[in-house]
Amino acid sequence: MSAPLTATCLCGGLQFELTLPTKWVSHCHCHNCRRAHGAAFVTWAGFLESSVRCIRGTNKLVRYDTDVQSQRVFCKSCGSTLLFSGERWPGEIHVAVGTIDGELDREPSVHAYADRAPAWCPITDTLPRFGGESGTEPLE
């Protein structure tokens, strides 16, 4: 068994311990992810809920309920978004890969909501692309 990883916010005040394995790793191009992170897309790693625990800064932890029945967890000091969860993924927590210290057990394997990728940042790799209302419908 490998040693746990950590996910840390920009100021270092909020930290989570992550126990591998991941369930998946994916790039997400949905509007909410892009707005929450101020980026063209966000790369998420899916973990079992039981594999993620806060080890520092519970007093800095803020939850934001979105308009799509999901929740984002961020640091109230620096604003870094670290976690995402939702009704569509019971028992799972998604961790923003950019906040993870160390190497994951897998690389990204798909693009979710690829049909919403901005024209100024086209997808240029050969990973499978999914889209539509759910973000998980195969695109041709």
CB atoms within 10 A of CB 136: 13
CATH number at residue 127: 2.170.150.70
- Going by C-alpha positions, the residue among 32, 25, 28 that lies closest to residue 41 is 28
Number of domain units in the chain: 1
Q: By percentage, how much of the chain surpasses pLDDT 70?
A: 99
> Dihedral of the CA atoms 134, 7, 91, 114 (nearest 10)?
10
Pairing outcome for strands 100-101 and 92-96: unpaired
The domain of 91 spans: 5-138
Structural contact between residues 74 and 62, judged by C-beta atoms closer than 8 angstroms: yes
Give per-residue pLDDT as tens, 85-126: 999 999 999 999 999 999 999 999 999 999 999 999 999 999
Share of the chain above pLDDT 90, in %: 94
